[in-house]
Structure 1
Amino acid sequence: MTSEVEELIALKNGSHKAFEAIYNRYAGKLYNFIMTISHGDKYMSEEVIQSAFVRLWETKERIDPEKSILFYLSTISRNLLFNRYQRQTIEFLYQKLMINEQKPYHRQTENEIDRKWLESFVDELIDQLPPARKKIFILRKKEDLSTREIAEAMNISVSTVETQLSLAMKFMKAEFAKNYDKLFLAVFFLLI
């Protein structure tokens, strides 16, 4: 390959050699970039970089050879990292909700109402998801199946499962943001 443009054209056409060259050239730079914005989380950085290159391969036909591949990969990596952090936040809130649900019934009436409201709110959001996305979300969050187990159970690819989970989390985050005041109060009173 004599230039990056030719390399990107070859990648668009399915060249494994071009993909490997791009990976070797940019994986280290992307790793350092993600390490910086993840505050040194090595595991998260490695996961994000691997996912970013998987996404690059899956979307290779849409690459514009005239644009910077490093910028494209950086954007994918940053978005993947932020999506993982959002997912962790929602999982944390959901786990707190489940832990509180298992505690013996001796809470004050207001706290019980807040817990039920929060649980109901999350269930309503789950019900608003498209059927396949809803099923994937429930299998992952309520039945604690891995993305690979879900993919096998539903006979779909792991990347489809990850994409659907990402879209579900993005929807949940947007709905949580719309109702931030109510949710903050409900979670605050449940945790004290």
Structure 2
Amino acid sequence: MFDEVKELHALKGGSDKAFETIYRRYSGKLYNFIMTISRGDTYMAEEIVQSTFIKLWEVREQIEPERSILSYLSTIAKNMLMNKYQRQTVEFLYQQLLLKEQPAYDTATEKETDRKWLEDYVDELIEQLPPSRKKIFILSRKKELSTKEIAEIMQISVSTVETQLSLATKFIRKQFEKNYDKLFLLSMLFINLT
């Protein structure tokens, strides 16, 4: 019999088992919620669910066990989704600004240089990850293995692989977001020019 308050008290105390129990109980419901508000974007729903549970673990000491955890998780997930959409809007506006300011000549070489620079930058960030997280990330993103295949290779659970992938992605995203303010200013410039 699932006792939410008891599990939340255990989670608040740092229990991995309580975290896994709550994850198994609510991840599907949260996924369906995000699928609804993201209009069926499965990739987005998976990413937001993982990020939400990582956030739950990070703020576990602030949890109020008497309050509904599903409501709490839904609020975190909805805010993360809205932030992601805002970032995508800024990135889109930035790309539009670049297209508007671009000279008429062929920019294939410039795009290839940008792509190579971006790949090198991501590779540098990957090198900063802890060894096992780095290996999981490379197997997933570079070798394109599934979480199940990675779990079998590394002899760990699928949920551990998913958590490690989310942590790696979050780290890389945070590094990119350090330059987010510049993108935001450029997007505002673009809005004013149009």
* TM bin (shorter chain): 0.5 to 0.7
Equivalent in the alignment of 1:46: 46
Q: Secondary structure at the match of 2:104?
A: coil
Equivalent in the alignment of 2:161: none
Equivalent in the alignment of 2:191: 184
1:18 aligns with 2:25: no
Q: Secondary structure at the match of 1:65?
A: coil
| C-alpha distance in structure 2 between counterparts of 1:75 and 1:151, whole Å | 30
| C-alpha distance in structure 1 between counterparts of 2:102 and 2:87, whole Å | 22
Equivalent in the alignment of 1:139: none
1:170 CA displacement: 8.5
C-alpha distance after superposition, 1:76-105 (max 9, x if no partner):
100111111011000111112223333239
1:99 aligns with 2:99: yes
C-alpha distance after superposition, 1:142-186 (max 9, x if no partner):
95744x85475599x75466457669758976x799x6xx75351
Asked whether the equivalents of residues 49 and 77 of structure 1 are also in contact (C-alpha less than 8 Å), the reply is yes
Structure 1 unaligned regions, length at least 5: 106-141
1:14 CA displacement: 1.4
Within 5 A, what are the aligned runs for 1:105-124?
none
- Give the 3 Å change call, closer, same or farther, for CA 63–38 of structure 1 in structure 2: same
Equivalent in the alignment of 1:37: 37
Number of corresponding residues:
145
| C-alpha distance in structure 2 between counterparts of 1:169 and 1:63, whole Å | 30
Q: TM-score, normalised by structure 1?
A: 0.61
| C-alpha distance in structure 1 between counterparts of 2:95 and 2:54, whole Å | 29
Q: TM-score, normalised by structure 2?
A: 0.60
- Give the 3 Å change call, closer, same or farther, for CA 165–83 of structure 1 in structure 2: farther
1:66 CA displacement: 1.4
Asked whether the equivalents of residues 86 and 169 of structure 1 are also in contact (C-alpha less than 8 Å), the reply is no
Equivalent in the alignment of 2:70: 70
User: Which one-letter code corresponds to 2:83 in the other structure?
Assistant: N
Greater relative CO, 1 or 2 (CA 8 Å, sep 6+): 2
Equivalent in the alignment of 1:83: 83
- Give the 3 Å change call, closer, same or farther, for CA 165–13 of structure 1 in structure 2: farther
User: Which one-letter code corresponds to 1:102 in the other structure?
Assistant: Q
User: Which one-letter code corresponds to 1:76 in the other structure?
Assistant: I
| C-alpha distance in structure 2 between counterparts of 1:52 and 1:68, whole Å | 15
| C-alpha distance in structure 1 between counterparts of 2:56 and 2:98, whole Å | 37
Asked whether the equivalents of residues 30 and 73 of structure 1 are also in contact (C-alpha less than 8 Å), the reply is yes
Asked whether the equivalents of residues 12 and 60 of structure 2 are also in contact (C-alpha less than 8 Å), the reply is yes
| C-alpha distance in structure 2 between counterparts of 1:63 and 1:160, whole Å | 24
User: Which one-letter code corresponds to 1:38 in the other structure?
Assistant: S
| C-alpha distance in structure 1 between counterparts of 2:56 and 2:79, whole Å | 13
- Give the 3 Å change call, closer, same or farther, for CA 64–172 of structure 1 in structure 2: farther
Identical amino acids, percent of aligned pairs: 50
